[in-house]
């Protein structure tokens, strides 16, 4: 898993807030302590996480899959 638990919780909270106002896409980034950072994008509920420009990636087919992967409470 690329994100820390706190980062995953923040991303999921942002996704849920945007869902509540009818938005289906968004993005955020985290300073990772490395030069490359961590970038999270979601569009129509598909979640993509990447470290830097060419670093490791993680994909989730929807927000529920993202929440399950990180052990987040859904609802």
pLDDT digits (tens, 9 = 90+) for 4-25: 899 889 888 888 888 888 877 7
Cβ contact 59:47 at 8 Å? yes
Kindly list the averaged pLDDT for each block of 10 residues, start to end, along the chain of length 75: 88 85 79 70 79 83 91 83
Provide the residue range defining the domain that includes 61.
5-69
Specify if 75 maps to a domain.
no
On whether residue 19 sits in a domain, the answer given is yes
Domain count, the chain: 1
Integer Cα distance of 34 and 65 in angstroms: 27
Note whether residue 62 is domain-resident: yes
**Coil, helix or strand for 69?**
helix
**DSSP codes, 8-19:** HHHHHHHHHHHH
In this predicted structure, what is the pLDDT of residue 67? 92
Residue 8: exposed, middle, or buried by beta-carbon count in 10 A (0-12, 13-18, 19+)? Answer: buried
């Amino acid at each position: 898993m690329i994100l820390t638990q706190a980062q995953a919780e923040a991303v999921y909270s942002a996704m849920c807030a945007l869902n509540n106002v009818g938005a289906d896409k968004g993005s955020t980034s985290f300073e990772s302590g490395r030069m490359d950072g961590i970038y999270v994008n979601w569009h129509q509920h598909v979640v993509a996480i990447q470290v830097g420009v060419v670093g490791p990636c993680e994909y989730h087919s929807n927000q529920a899959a993202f929440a399950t992967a990180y052990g987040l409470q859904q609802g």
